[in-house]
Amino acid sequence: MLRTMLLPEPLTPALAQHLLRSRDDIVEFLKRLRHSKVMLTCFIDGGFVPAGARIDAIMPSVDELVLAAVSEMEHEMLSAANAITVVAFLRGVKIQFAAAIGGTIATASGIGVRVSLPTRMLHLQRRVHARARTPRMRPLECMVRGETNLPSEQRLIVLDIGVGGVALLARARDMYASGERLLNCGFNLGREGQVTTDLIVRHVARAEGSGGWRYGCAFADITPRALERVCCYVEGIEAQRRAAVSINA
């Protein structure tokens, strides 16, 4: 089942303030999606079965984009559709737009699908991107593997996690320095899967009540797919917290 955050948002009046209508702004965001090679989830003709694609070309002069599907089956789905609703995530921001299908076109890498340049685009920062405390019973761990990418160099407890980064618990104050880049940091997010990314230490402070030190770290060059997994993990933690509050109320 697709998670709620991956589905298109109903365009209610409350979301009007998050809609981009400037052609220049829309083209700029499309360029960012293309440059970052972000995976687009394309919902076909208002349905719930998506096809995956990436932006191959942007052609403002003819009001079109060219999408490259990630598989032959998904190319067939896209090329046979009349319209699509596209959902993507760019650095934690949910991007959504609708487009009409205009047939296929030959590209340098194969055959692409022509779609209309969107006239408006939803640009939504979801509330679940705030930091969430990780469970105490089965705490999330960070494995810092370093340059050699060994199975485990350091194994640290994650105190909280969000779209921007994590807070790690360490016993020593001088384990890492502010500004240091921690390479190949792995997280097992359970059903969301594995995430590996670099971290940059932003600040070090006493971790209250633990006798250790709190290392606040930012994600460095995290991939869109990994960021999507982090967002889903945070959403799951928040859902469990709300359920517990409801039961105890």
Closest by CA position to 28, among listed 55, 68, 62 = 55
Would you say 100 and 123 are in contact if contact means Cβ atoms under 8 Å apart?
Answer: no
CATH of 4-125, one of 1.10.760.10, 3.40.50.2300, 1.20.1740.10, 2.30.110.10: 2.30.110.10
Are β-strands 121-125 and 93-107 bridged in parallel, bridged antiparallel, or unpaired?
antiparallel
Report pLDDT digits (tens) over 24-78: 999 999 999 999 888 899 999 877 778 889 999 999 999 999 999 989 999 999 9
Any idea which architecture 129-244 has in CATH?
Beta Barrel (2.40)
Residue 249 pLDDT class (50, 70, 90 cuts): low
Helices of type H across the chain = 23-35, 72-80, 224-248
- Indicate the domain borders of the chain: 4-125, 129-244
Residue-level pLDDT at 223: 77
Q: With a threshold of 0.75, does the pTM exceed it?
A: no
Report pLDDT digits (tens) over 79-102: 999 999 999 887 668 899 999 999
Residue with tokens 């998506």: 50
Residue with tokens 């640009």: 123
Are β-strands 40-44 and 110-116 bridged in parallel, bridged antiparallel, or unpaired?
unpaired
Report pLDDT digits (tens) over 206-240: 887 777 899 999 888 787 678 778 877 887 787 77
Would you say 60 and 117 are in contact if contact means Cβ atoms under 8 Å apart?
Answer: yes
Question: Average pLDDT in the 102-124 region?
Answer: 92
Q: What residue ranges in 26-149 does DSSP mark as E strands?
A: 40-44, 50-59, 64-69, 83-90, 93-107, 110-116, 121-125, 132-133, 141-144
- Count of residues in the chain: 249
